[in-house]
Amino acid sequence: MKEFKLLGSKPTRHGFGMGLVELGERYDNVVVLGGDITGSVMTSFFRDKFPERFFSIGIAEQNATTIAAGLALSGKIPFFSSYSAFAAFRNADQIRISMCYNEANVKIGGGHSGITVGPDGATHQSLEEVSLLRAMPNLTLIVPADYEESRKATIAIGEMHGPAYLRFGRSPVPMFTSVEDSFEIGKATQLTEGNEVAIIACGLMVWEAVLAAQELYKRKGIKARVINNSSIKPIDYETITKAAMECGCIVTAEEHQVHGGLGSAVAEVVVKNFPVPMEFVGMKDRFGGSGEPEELMVHFGLTWKEIYASALKSIERKEKGFIGVRKLTEIESMID
């Protein structure tokens, strides 16, 4: 089983902030719009380095996105960031029409996503935005796993043309990807070798998936294939289909509602190309609550333990027989 070297912990929002600075150094037409929470979403890094290219819009997310669309259509590369609870939901009409319908080159950073916002409580714990945003035509949607991937993803969406949304969190998360690791929009990354079950995760749940895979091997001798699927849209059809074919069962894990998020996106690929048993780890159709991030992860079942149990369940279903892994001749005889 591959061993991962932890490089400390940092919030993915810091990776977003550093990525903005790097983009600003490379491109003079990168501009950033702030909504009075620049210190929270780390757009303050860009503001301090390039004050002449930073615009404070105030607490007005819808106005900021509309202004950003105008700047994009004028040749700028505008970034706007706020909490996902506002950047996605309060902003839904502006994202749909001003950004996506116009194919405007606007980039939005959705911060403080998931239950790990902690004490801010259920109203600020955005757990549904992936399902909303991945339905938007023309929109690229990325959920990075750690600080370094967040930095790379920020640069990547800045260098592509078209509307994009980057989802990141507030709390520090383990850093396990390196500067040398590649990041490409539309590509998933296989982290471990294994053909008995595939665990496909995004965001901070990728590290929980790695821990689950380590425990599966240690306790049961099961070799799990862990896949970091940070690119929700476009999604990596090839890697997911290959995992279904070679592993025969899949578990998805996300800090998001199980309805409409990563799990649903993976299921759409699997059911079309190679149906196999699937289990889903995520929020079970409920709101979050106030508490410390680690306590909430345990309370709502978003840890390696739930991934571990779901992996065993999916393997059991596979071994009992499932139409998706039967031979074509068997399926034809059933139809007859």
Q: Distance (Å, rounded) from C-alpha 100 to C-alpha 136?
A: 7
Coil, helix or strand for 256? strand
- Provide the pLDDT for residue 132: 97
Q: Distance (Å, rounded) from C-alpha 280 to C-alpha 334?
A: 28
pTM score of the predicted model: 0.94
- Provide the pLDDT for residue 3: 75
DSSP 165-184: EEE--SSEEE----TTS---
DSSP 63-100: HHHHHHHHHHHTT-EEEEEEEHIIIIIITHHHIIIIII
Helix axis angle for 205-220 and 304-320, nearest 10°, is 60
Q: Distance (Å, rounded) from C-alpha 291 to C-alpha 272?
A: 40
- Provide the pLDDT for residue 5: 82
Q: What angle do CA 47, 49, 53 make, to 5 degrees?
A: 55
Contacts of 78 (CB under 8 A, 6+ apart): 30, 31, 32, 33, 67, 68, 71, 72, 105, 106, 107
Set out the domains of the chain in order of their start, with CATH numbers: 11-174 (3.40.50.970), 189-323 (3.40.50.920)
pLDDT in tens, the chain (336 residues): 677 889 899 999 999 999 999 999 999 999 999 988 999 999 999 999 999 999 999 999 999 999 999 999 999 999 999 999 999 999 999 999 999 999 999 999 999 999 999 999 999 999 999 999 999 999 999 999 999 999 999 999 999 999 999 999 999 999 999 999 999 999 999 999 999 999 999 999 999 999 999 999 999 999 999 999 999 999 999 999 999 999 999 999 999 999 999 999 999 999 999 999 999 999 999 999 999 999 999 999 999 999 999 999 999 999 998 655 455 445 454 444
Nearest to 157 by CA among 215, 263, 230, 96: 230
Contacts of 191 (CB under 8 A, 6+ apart): 2, 4, 206, 210, 226, 227, 228
Q: What angle do CA 298, 281, 203 make, to 5 degrees?
A: 80
